[in-house]
Amino acid sequence: MAALGSRIETGSRAGAWPRWLTRERVAPVVAGVAILVVWQVVVSTQLPSFVARPSGIVMAIPETLASEEFWGDVVVTLGSILEGVAIGSAAGILIGVAMGRVRELNWFLSTYIRALYALPLIALVPIVIIWVGYQPAARLVIVIISVFLPVAVTTADGTRAISKDYLDVGKMFGARTHNVWFGIALPSAMPHIVAGIELGFARGITNAIAVEVLASVPGMGMSVFTKSNELNENASLVYVVCLGVFAVGVRAGMIRFRHWLAPWYRRT
């Protein structure tokens, strides 16, 4: 009887859904498939043949990925974005910690940084292009600004929201100013900092593509614009899909990075 019971239990487990196959993971897949089907049907029946459709994009992937132009654009654009994120994050963290811990500095800088943060940076793209010129440096400057502003704001908010108990304990053990800044304030603000970097990444990608299109800077954005004008929309959307995969990968990586830096912080 015991053997029969174990077989029944094993059979029921074999027919059960895998643990990783949850509704939260299945729902996006179902929604994505439905959108692709509707897109394919509508374009095939209602729109001209040059309009991009899922089947055409899939067919254009091998040819696009095999071209040197595509990988050159990927290296140039994503490399500039990563460089800008690194510079903007470092500057934003330093200024944000200073604003959060020095009240007078916050008085001088907070209004202007928060005003620029609330401003759609796409409005600054033409100005930066005029100042820097029609060259890749304009893209880098815009990405740095796009990342610096949210990182500075979130870091300042995070370092200002430290529990008073932490500061009191630090004073009891003789913590100096640099110990409070980088030993207490900075670790406590890590979830806010990572959230700012994540937001800066998204803004940086958008504004980098805008600079490439408006300033005719070689890169993924310019290739998307050029191929669309050539009515090669399927190849154009391969670039867009690549950017989307990069953005989703950054999002997933930042969530894991935040959990690793601050395991006590579990908000996703």
CATH number at 148 reads 1.10.3720.10
By CB atoms closer than 10 A (0-12, 13-18, 19+), residue 148 is: buried
For residue range 36-86, list pLDDT tens digits in order. 888 888 888 887 877 888 888 888 888 888 888 889 989 999 999 999 999
The boundaries of the domain holding residue 237 are: 67-261
Average pLDDT, the chain: 81
* Residue 198 falls inside a structural domain: yes
Q: Looking at residue 80, what is its pLDDT?
A: 92
**Residue 8 clears pLDDT 60, i.e. is over it:** no
23 assigned to some structural domain: no
Domain-located, residue 254: yes
Domain count, the chain: 1
Which residue reads 């304990």 in tokens?
169
pLDDT of residue 160: 78
Q: pLDDT tier at 177 (50, 70, 90 boundaries)?
A: low
Residue 184's CB: how many other CB atoms inside 10 A? 19
Q: At what angle do helices 190-215 and 136-160 cross, to 10 degrees?
A: 160
pLDDT at 110: 85
pLDDT: which is higher, 53 or 185: 53
This prediction has a pTM of 0.79
Task: Let me know if residue 32 belongs to a domain.
Answer: no
Average confidence (pLDDT) over 233-254:
87
**CB-based contact 201:147 (threshold 8 Å):** yes
Token readout for 230 is: 């050539």
Considering the domain boundaries, does residue 38 fall inside one? no
